[in-house]
Amino acid sequence: MPHHSYRDFHAASVADPAAFWTREAGRIHWHKPFTQALAYDQPPFRDWFVGGETNLCYNAVDRHLAERGEQAALIHVSTETGSERTYSYRELYEEVARFAAILEAQGVGRGDRVLIYMPMIPEAVFAMLATVRLGAVHSVVFGGFASHSLATRIEDARPKVMVTADAGLRGGKVIAYKPLVDEALSLAGDAAPARVIVVNRGVAEPPMMKPGRDLDYAELRERMQDARACVAWVESNHPSYILYTSGTTGKPKGVQRDTGGYAVALASTMEYIYGGRPGETFFSTSDIGWVVGHSYIVYAPLINGMATLMYEGLPTRPDAGVWWSLVEKYRVTVMFSAPTALRVLKKQDPVWLKKYDLKSLRALFMAGEPLDEPTASWIAGELGVPVIDNYWQTETGWPMLTVCRGVEDLPVKVGSPGLPVYGYDVRLFDEATGEEVGPGQKGVIGVLPPLPPGCMSTVWGQDGRFVSTYFGLFKDRLVYSSFDWGIKDEDGYYTILGRTDDVINVAGHRLGTREIEEAVAGHGAIAEVAVVGVSDTLKGQVPQAFAVVRDPSQLADPDSRERLEKEVIARVAQALGAIANPARVFFVNQLPKTRSGKVLRRSIQALAEGRDPGDLTTLDDPAGIEQVRQAVQG
């Protein structure tokens, strides 16, 4: 297993990236070998495995048929519909190759875009794999995004075909997709695709079908029962997909990903980071609409010959033990989740974690937002397995910071995602001077190019924007900016301090909202908290905290509310000094979050400053924003 000093391993990967990645490239199937590992003659653009031909779908599906055709490949569980279905690699191949033939019959070929707007159902995975099988480019838009958000993505990607469903389900509520799609297509005008394939799950009113444009998937599948599309071999740098980053203003930013580099990078992570082995089961609780879903529900586990568990439903329905029951049933060895979900489970009865046999599980990985200390310590104690934070972005496609235990069994430090991952030359920079800063000093987390394989190639259709957005931090030095503040300790372990735009300036002192949140969350009564900077005539900005308490009875009367507020503020003063003290601590029943679980801090800040909360189309539940509004006005 572990076979190097990790530091040497990482140093080799950045000192001679071409040699390092040439060795890793043997993990995937090349139809035609590459002639050059790295071409970097137009910084910051770079090409990996130049001249090599491969295919993402072939590596994820076809190449496993000889050895593991009857093994489970895709396990789909929906607690919304009460259905469970396992597809072997052979069955997955049949579904995907047929879906590709259906797309091909609609004129989809190399380089065309297919926009996928789907709930968490197997057909969504078939559609993704079928698209890359043809050398086409998928753009998955999170199911349930509002029509306007969907329309802007249609306008940018200009898909030839769109794949959607009648409806999604969440907590037993039906979210009809087809009306949203129809509205988005009318908004998109001439960018709208000629064909829309509709998977009718039968969970909503039968969707209105527009003759000549809308096609029923079940009918197409029946008609093309025996059709199978061949693999289109593409050059390694051919785009595999576009994924739009959330929270962008104006024209959306489509992160464009390559093919060969992505496959190699993902395959390497299964050994070095996740320790998942062929034949085992990988369970990521994300959604295919996000980058974690692309990389670690669909591509990486399948490339690695594992079974991937795809879950539709909430972590608390039918009860708070549902995820752990799946770990037991399918003998999950590697699980990947988000801190938000765990904080939800932390509020439930702990008996659910003791009810199931979890001994197959070797590790739990976390990403999506910083993993706070109380949550990390709680779940590690309950599960008795390592809980390992990952820090990465839609733009990178796979982790930038973590502990690569498949290389060396290094300690995990609670509150830190870990060390720079092999391939990434991560540094901390002073935002003003561009100088690198040392241990214990705060800086912007940046990566010296060339970016490793699998990171974004460019912004779809906007090369200039790629350079100006991501490499525009300093005038005289090319550095990829993560837009995150960080700090590292003497051992080189990083801690994320929040977005460069989540830093508040209190009387000339720069404070990361994350630092204050950690201090507030350390109070035993607090389950969850968001801290925002609110403009203040005296200090420029002051922090305000919006906190969810574990036990609402603690707020039964104004006195106990005031007492708790004072205790929380005292705790912050003790941890960070009085300069960081929240001006107010508001208690709410829930925080406003996006569907992917990110707290809408900008909207909270706007309400706290008496402004319009802005675009709420990604909001999961309107109650959270109302809570904040009432707290501020109350």
pLDDT digit string (tens) for 243-295?
998 543 457 789 999 999 999 999 999 999 999 999 999 999 999 999 999 99
The model's confidence at residue 1, banded by pLDDT at 50, 70 and 90, is very low
Taking CA atoms, 50 is separated from 17, 30, 238, in Å, by: 14, 12, 10
Mind giving me the DSSP string for 185-254? Answer: HHHHGGGS-SEEEEE--SSSSPPP--TTTEEEHHHHHHHTTT--PPP--EETTS--EEEEPTT--SS--E
Helix (H, G, I), strand (E, B) or coil at 444: strand
CA distance 342 to 79: 18
User: Is 399 in contact with 391 (CB distance < 8 Å)?
Assistant: yes
Please state the rounded mean pLDDT for residues 213-233.
98
User: Is 334 in contact with 280 (CB distance < 8 Å)?
Assistant: yes
Q: With left for phi above 0 and alpha for psi between -120 and 50, is residue 421 left, alpha or beta? A: beta
The model's confidence at residue 508, banded by pLDDT at 50, 70 and 90, is low
**Topology annotation, domain 6-313+390-483:** Rossmann fold (3.40.50)
User: What is the reported pLDDT for 251?
Assistant: 72
User: What is the reported pLDDT for 113?
Assistant: 98
User: What is the reported pLDDT for 579?
Assistant: 80
pTM: 0.87
CA distance 232 to 234: 6
Taking CA atoms, 202 is separated from 55, 102, 122, 141, in Å, by: 34, 21, 15, 21
Q: Is the pLDDT of residue 441 over 80?
A: yes
**1-15, 165-179, 462-476, range with the lowest pLDDT:** 1-15
User: What is the reported pLDDT for 250?
Assistant: 54
User: Is 495 in contact with 486 (CB distance < 8 Å)?
Assistant: yes
pLDDT in tens, 104-129: 999 999 999 999 999 999 999 999 99
Provide the CATH number for the domain formed by 502-633 in this structure.
Answer: 3.30.300.30
User: What is the reported pLDDT for 248?
Assistant: 36
- Parallel, antiparallel, or unpaired: how do β-strands 254-257 and 241-244 relate? antiparallel
pLDDT in tens, 310-365: 999 999 999 999 999 999 999 999 999 988 888 889 888 889 999 999 999 999 99
User: What is the reported pLDDT for 249?
Assistant: 45
**2-6, 95-99, 157-161, 163-167, range with the lowest pLDDT:** 2-6
Give the CA-trace dihedral at 282, 309, 95, 143, to 10 degrees.
-120
CA distance 90 to 95: 9
pLDDT in tens, 527-548: 999 999 998 877 778 999 999 9
Please state whether the peptide bond connecting residue 44 to the residue before it is cis, i.e. omega within 30 degrees of 0: yes
Exposure string of 382-417, with b = 16+ CB inside 10 Å and e = fewer, is bbeebbbbbbbbbbbbbbbbbbbbbbbebebbebbb
User: Is 563 in contact with 571 (CB distance < 8 Å)?
Assistant: no
Please state the rounded mean pLDDT for residues 580-594.
92
pLDDT in tens, 443-459: 999 999 999 999 999 99
User: What is the reported pLDDT for 464?
Assistant: 95
Mind giving me the DSSP string for 27-55? Answer: GS--SB--SEEEEEEETTEEEEEET-EE-
- The domains of the chain are located at 6-313+390-483, 502-633
| pLDDT, the chain, mean | 93
Q: Which of 196, 234, 168 is nearest to 103 (CA)?
A: 196
